[in-house]
A and B are shown apart, each in its own frame.
Chain A
Amino acid sequence: MSFVNRFSDSGKTPWSNQLNRAFITRPSLTLRVLSSPPPLLRLKQGWCLLSELSRRESESQKMGLVGETIDSIKSIQIRQHLTQAISLGMIVTSALIIWKALMCVTGSESPVVVVLSGSMEPGFKRGDILFLHMSKDPIRAGEIVVFNVDGRDIPIVHRVIKVHERENTGEVDVLTKGDNNYGDDRLLYAEGQQWLHRHHIMGRAVGFLPYVGWVTIIMTEKPIIKYILIGALGLLVITSKD
């Protein structure tokens, strides 16, 4: 009950309340009217406000398109967007620096590779990542090497099964084979090539991480996913507030 009463009372301003009662009860008219702002004064205040608003509106209409453009340019905040672009550039550059540093440290052209085929199963499955390292040590049988064959752009990860090292020059003939393959790799080499040499070999596998390479495989085989990811990342960077 009290709840409803409070609501019904709070809607009315004190002077309009007084005004209603003034019309109903005549004797107290003068007293009520003096204790509240007179309606005439209110009307005058409202008229002043209206005239002020219309003056300002006409002024801004005269400024027109130029004023609006200047306002919107001021609100772009060039400095903030420039900072965002520079920090994005810093992230990309530092990733590149890390990649090049890895290339230097491991001595290999691509220090991290993804296994694409199942020819080394069950040791390396498709989608595993291999860490490569290339040193001046001679290549010996049993090492897992990554090599490029002339004419093929994708490097191959297989194990060395035969090594013949020359006495005088130190050059070496190498034959490789995938653990899961039946025959050796002579079928994969270039036409007429029987052996691999040192300059074909990009590195030795020294460590590995399972499953992490699936991201790269998916992005390579379905390039639409790569575009979606980059587009979403760009959108996130532009629309984020920091």
Chain B
Amino acid sequence: MHSFGYRANALLTFSVTALAFICAIASFSDKFSNQNPSAEIQILNINRLKKQSYGNDEVSLTLDISADLQSLFTWNTKQVFAFVAAEYETPMNSLNQVSLWDAIIPDKEHAKFRIQTSNKYRFIDQGHNLRGKEFNLTLHWHVMPKTGKMFADKIVMPGYSLPDAYK
């Protein structure tokens, strides 16, 4: 009952249980953080709106994104993944979400930023519905913790639109 094997086994079991408990509590403490992020996006320029050779519309645009995500960081946060998606509706599809730009924010200092960029990923429609289309630009963020439950949220900014003719 007091051999090395029994003691090692008891120690291992206890330490694993304690670790699991600590991870659960760390994740639970994230519920109590107060979060109020803010963001603003402006479209600086619509560079191209064209029809691709095999029929789909494609848009290229330049965005000015400024955001303050500092309140999302807690002691249990490893990184925040932020991305901007264009959301719109077409006759065939009830919802289209196309990610235009994303970034990984590793710590609190980098969480308040302003960036001007063209879209990182191609904005391609299924069909040719983009002329004169109105769409929302949504800033999503995904908080990835050091351990435990991940959670995500977004800010929807409506009211952007594309030009009526191919450019």
Contact = CB atoms under 8 A, between A and B. Distances in A.
Interface stretch (B34-42, B43-51, B76-84, B159-167): B76-84
B147 A209 contact: yes
A166 B92 contact: yes
A179 B81 contact: yes
Interface string B75-117: 0001101010100000111111111001010100000000000
Given A123-B81, A123-B144, A142-B83, A167 B99 contact: no
Which bucket holds chain B's interface residue count?
20 to 34
A213 to B, nearest CB: 13
Interface in A156-210: 159, 161-167, 170, 173, 177, 179, 184, 205-210
Contact of B121 (A138, A161, A236): A161
B140 A206 contact: no
A184 to B, nearest CB: 7
Nearest to B100: A161
B155 interface: no
B106 A161 contact: no
Given A123-B79, A141-B97, A207 B150 contact: yes
A207 B30 CA distance: 13
A166 B94 contact: yes
A197 to B, nearest CB: 14
Interface string A111-144: 0000000000011100000000000001011111
Nearest to B91: A167
A183 to B, nearest CB: 10
Interface of A: 122-124, 138, 140-144, 159, 161-167, 170, 173, 177, 179, 184, 205-210, 236
